[in-house]
Chain A
Amino acid sequence: MTEIATDQAAPSARRQSKDRLRRRHAAERRFRLYGMIAVAVALLFLAGLFAAIFSIAYTALGQTEIALEIHFDGALIDPDGTRNGDVLARADYGALVKDGLGTLFPEVKGRRDRRALRKLLSVGATFELRDMLLADQSLIGGRRTLWLPASDDVDMYAKGLVAGGADNGGRINAKQAVWLDLLRSQGQLEQRFNWRFFLSGDSREPELAGILGAAVGSLLTLAICLALAFPLGVMTAVYLQEFAPRNRWTDLIEVNINNLAAVPSIVFGLLGLAVLLGFAGMPRSAPLVGGIVLALMTLPTVIIAGRAALQAVPPSIRDAAFGIGASPMQVVAHHVLPLAMPGVLTGTIIGMARALGETAPLLMIGMVAFIVDVPLGPTDPATVLPVQVYLWADAPERAFAERTAAAIVVLLAFLVVMNFAAVLLRRRFEQRW
């Protein structure tokens, strides 16, 4: 240590220049700013996304309807007076609508104008009249003022989303626009709550299309997915965390699970197509197949969350149970698993939320078909909410855009509920050891 004196320099001999210090602090502020910008970009995008979706979606809550006096003319519906269900079901309800419009606009003559007039109303109006009559035959011969759905073009025009007049490219021509304004001034054209959107299946006509079919399909698919992924996931997690010996085989299983968690979802769709549909001969478009595919996809999430939850249970609990002579199986079943359950359930809910939003693998197994009927069982052809969004997003009609956005809002609402449940569960049962 004698050298110390030789390479001494007075400590204060160097003092960094104020300039350098200023540069370093400027760099510090810049760096911090980059971080804020990055966060801001993500948040702004999120805000933009929600703003765009909600601003398009909210108009789908209402549906333009036209009040029309309908004369349930017995001579038209049931000329022979049979009151037979088949006869009534096949009657020409379109004629009733035409008559109703005719009495409202007696001055409209000529085939083209009449067609234009008829087109104000949705084709669904006739079906609604039929269903109404089949439910209540006493209507025959009577007159009723009914609110009937307008066609999607009228709906868009009435909501101010498209311009009218043939000259500026609108799908509502000048005459129709006049009629509609007249109806509106007479209080016969209104926005009414769009119950059809929530209570019907898909349709080619935007004004009749609803999400019930897709929602039920999602529910069935998710039920199958949960029924498979939860028990299998918990069992695997328990085995790997509590019983498995540490060897190459379990190491392989672990690597495999971690890898599966990151395999693109569309690959699971290919698996479903080749194995479940091609090899096992299961039905196309069925929630059963969708549920199995999504279960295989969600399984790694459940397993990883389950293992983390099991690992968080302190060894002291196990020691205590072993100490009073419980078997390994009893230790897990009576103590470890119940304590880990909140974590396992949280992971499962998060996995289910992912499965609910998944689209790509379901396209592969045919859940992308156009299906009008609401599915009743796991083997009925069905579609799910995100696929419905995809289908409608592709449709050319302007009226489908707002329905797509509205379906997204419904989907997001389901996701929010699920994630909220997961957060609550975690808050309520979280244990700090």
Chain B
Amino acid sequence: MSAIAMRNQEAAPADIKMRAAGVDVSYGDKQALFAVNVAIETNTVTALIGPSGCGKSTFLRCLNRMNDVIEGCRVSGQITLDGVDVHDRAIDVVELRARVGMVFQKPNPFPKSVYENVAYGPRIHGLANSRAELDDIVHSSLRRAGLIDEVRDRLDEPGTGLSGGQQQRLCIARAIAVEPEVILMDEPCSALDPIATAKVEELIDDLRERYTIVIVTHSMQQAARVSQRTAFFHLGEVVEQGETGQIFTKPVDERTQAYITGRIG
């Protein structure tokens, strides 16, 4: 384990938004993650890559405790947000998720109007004191998600009626309407066509200025395009992490090498 840890180049402590230390996760009898250590830098896009079933999505879901929802799932180890353990009693899971938002693999707009989809988060968290404030939040969120021009006249139409790429950007708008600090994205483009993917990737790059982003992706090209840092997962362990450029050009571990060159599926 110490050999692996040495190869993991973690970022300097000052810039670290979230950090996972020795995280084990198991579903029932099956262990999915083994002693994972990952550091996530502020205002950076961190990509989690690896073959399917390697535990990268599981890890992502640990960061805002979405695994709590799954019956029989046990998480141990330490995950900190701004230095505070997210499993701490003082941390409210509801508040945690407001600070660490999530965008899912398949676009999942609520069966409500575009407006209501974005307004949902601010409403439950009481972020707006008036209808005008709420309108403001909805509009600026849609604008930041790059969707406002496409839906300006369709705010009252069901969100499920948009195209796949628009739906995914709607989901991103919905997530940023709560003003999170970190946005977790679980393969946000895997259900989208190349043009929609390009738009979302462009958006991710823009969002980096305000938010810390963690993105799980299947596509190494995508990781190379959008991320500054990359962590490579394999069979439930973090094999290697570091600057994206370095991982892709000079991987240290031979498993990383094998994956990048396409020998591990």
Contact = CB atoms under 8 A, between A and B. Distances in A.
Interface of A: 1, 3-4, 7-9, 11-12, 14, 16, 20-21, 24-25
28 contacts: A1-B144, A1-B146, A1-B206, A3-B143, A4-B144, A4-B206, A4-B209, A4-B210, A7-B140, A7-B143, A7-B144, A8-B210, A9-B179, A11-B179, A11-B180, A11-B181, A11-B211, A12-B181, A14-B127, A14-B179, A16-B95, A16-B98, A16-B126, A16-B127, A20-B125, A24-B94, A24-B124, A25-B94
Interface string B79-101: 00000000000001011001000
Nearest to B126: A20
A10 to B, nearest CB: 9
Contacts of B146: 1
Contacts of B209: 4
Contacts of A16: 95, 98, 125-127
Contacts of A7: 140, 143-144
A201 B95 CA distance: 70
Interface in B95-134: 95, 98, 124-127
Interface string B140-168: 10011010000000000000000000000
A12 B209 CA distance: 15
Interface string B238-255: 000000000000000000
Nearest to B180: A11
Contacts of A8: 210
Interface string B25-51: 000000000000000000000000000
A9 to B, nearest CB: 8
A422 to B, nearest CB: 28
Interface string B209-243: 11100000000000000000000000000000000
A21 B95 contact: yes
Interface in B164-218: 179-181, 206, 209-211
Contacts of B95: 16, 21
A137 to B, nearest CB: 76
A417 to B, nearest CB: 34
A1 B125 CA distance: 26
B134 to A, nearest CB: 13
A24 B98 CA distance: 14
B94 A21 contact: yes
Nearest to B122: A14
A3 B143 CA distance: 8
B143 A11 contact: no
Contacts of A12: 181
A29 to B, nearest CB: 13
A7 B209 CA distance: 13
Contacts of A4: 144, 206, 209-210
A14 B125 CA distance: 10
A8 B140 CA distance: 9
Chain B CB within 10 A, most for which of A4, A9, A12? A4
Nearest to A24: B94
A8 B144 CA distance: 10
Given A1-B146, A16-B125, A24-B94, 6 more contacts: A1-B206, A4-B206, A7-B143, A11-B180, A11-B181, A21-B92
B77 to A, nearest CB: 26
Nearest to B140: A7
A7 B176 CA distance: 13
Contacts of B94: 21, 24-25
Contacts of A21: 92, 94-95
A11 B210 contact: yes
A367 B98 CA distance: 66
A20 B180 CA distance: 18
A131 to B, nearest CB: 65
Nearest to A17: B126
Contacts of B126: 16, 20
Contacts of A25: 92, 94
Contacts of B124: 24
A143 B15 CA distance: 110
A14 B180 CA distance: 10
Contacts of B211: 11
Nearest to A1: B206
A16 to B, nearest CB: 5
A11 B99 CA distance: 9
A31 to B, nearest CB: 14
A4 to B, nearest CB: 6
Nearest to A9: B179
A16 B125 CA distance: 7
Contacts of B179: 9, 11, 14
A227 to B, nearest CB: 46
A24 B125 CA distance: 9
Contacts of B92: 21, 25
Interface string B45-78: 0000000000000000000000000000000000
B102 to A, nearest CB: 16
Contacts of B180: 11
A16 B146 CA distance: 27
A238 B206 CA distance: 59
Nearest to B98: A16
Nearest to B202: A1
A23 to B, nearest CB: 9
Nearest to B128: A14
Sort A-B residue pairs by CB-CB distance and give the 8 closest, nearest first.
Answer: A7-B140, A1-B206, A11-B179, A11-B181, A20-B126, A16-B125, A14-B127, A4-B144
Nearest to B137: A7
A3 B125 CA distance: 25
Nearest to B176: A11
A209 B140 CA distance: 81
A20 B122 CA distance: 13
Nearest to A8: B210
A11 B179 CA distance: 6
A1 to B, nearest CB: 5
Nearest to B211: A11
Nearest to B179: A11
A300 B249 CA distance: 68
Contacts of A3: 143
Contacts of B143: 3, 7
